[in-house]
Amino acid sequence: MTDLTDKVALVTGASSGIGQATAETLAARGAKVVLAARREETLTELVAGIVDRGGTATCVRTDVSIADDVERMVEHAIKTFGRLDYAVNNAGIEGEFAPVAELEEDVWDRVMGINLKGTYLSLKYEARAILEAGNGGSIVNIGSVNSFLGFPTGAAYVTSKHGLIGLTSSASAELAPKGIRVNLVCPGVIDTPMHRRLRGIVGDDVYDKALLPSVHLGRAGQPGEIAKAIAFLCSDEASYITGTTLSPDGGYTLTM
């Protein structure tokens, strides 16, 4: 198991799903973790749970689409734990699915604001903090299999996730010579609140008979399985991996 003892890690979108599992996994492996999301009460409960299990954690309410919030988030990490080593940019929303000819501008702006602009802002302030610490580090952005694959009515979500490939690749090229690795994790069908909402939209029949059979492993993944992949990319065990995408998707993209 990857040992992250005394490393300082920041996780956005940490109030549920993959973000929650990642924060808990990093803490279980010894990292001091900062949980960030918009739901402060939920974050407080998750921090208490981590501490009860012997971990070290704090939280800060953050809307990643607002620059001042993001700057304050990173400042909180530094003030609390002295530096920043790892960052996981997981915050994201699906928005509303609609044909592109009917997609409302405010939906487009909201999805881009969280998924793409929010990752850019987070990366911007995280990179500054890691550079100032001078010890190198790792940033992991969270995309989706929809970083490669489109689907009807998903223009805003898909575009935002496609954009993370370019952002990750560019940031890696810039930051790797300075000791910071930047990678993109693109999960497939994972049992999270977001995917449960998707199941409600498409219906159990489509989900069970069309979507899941396209997954080689024949099942949805669990958030903890993705968290382990993220922990690996954060760690020194991934010291020669940067600027790449890792797709823990049970083989889904191979069927497309």
Confidence band (pLDDT; 50, 70, 90) for 201? low
Domain boundaries, the chain: 8-255
pLDDT in tens, 97-150: 899 999 999 999 999 999 999 999 999 999 999 999 999 999 999 999 989 988
* Catalytic residue, candidates 86, 125, 157, 252: 157
pTM to 2 decimal places: 0.95
Q: Which two tokens stand for residue 17?
A: 């799903």
pLDDT in tens, 38-88: 999 999 999 999 999 999 999 999 999 999 999 999 999 999 999 999 999
Report, as an integer, the average pLDDT of 172-187.
98
Find out whether 220 and 189 touch, Cβ atoms under 8 Å: yes
pLDDT cut 90: percent of the chain above it: 79
Cross-strand bridge partners of residue 183: 140
pLDDT in tens, 99-114: 999 999 999 999 999 9
Nearest to 89 by CA among 189, 173, 161: 161
Active site residue 125: no
Asked if CATH classification 3.40.630.40 holds for the domain at 8-255, the reply, yes or no, is no
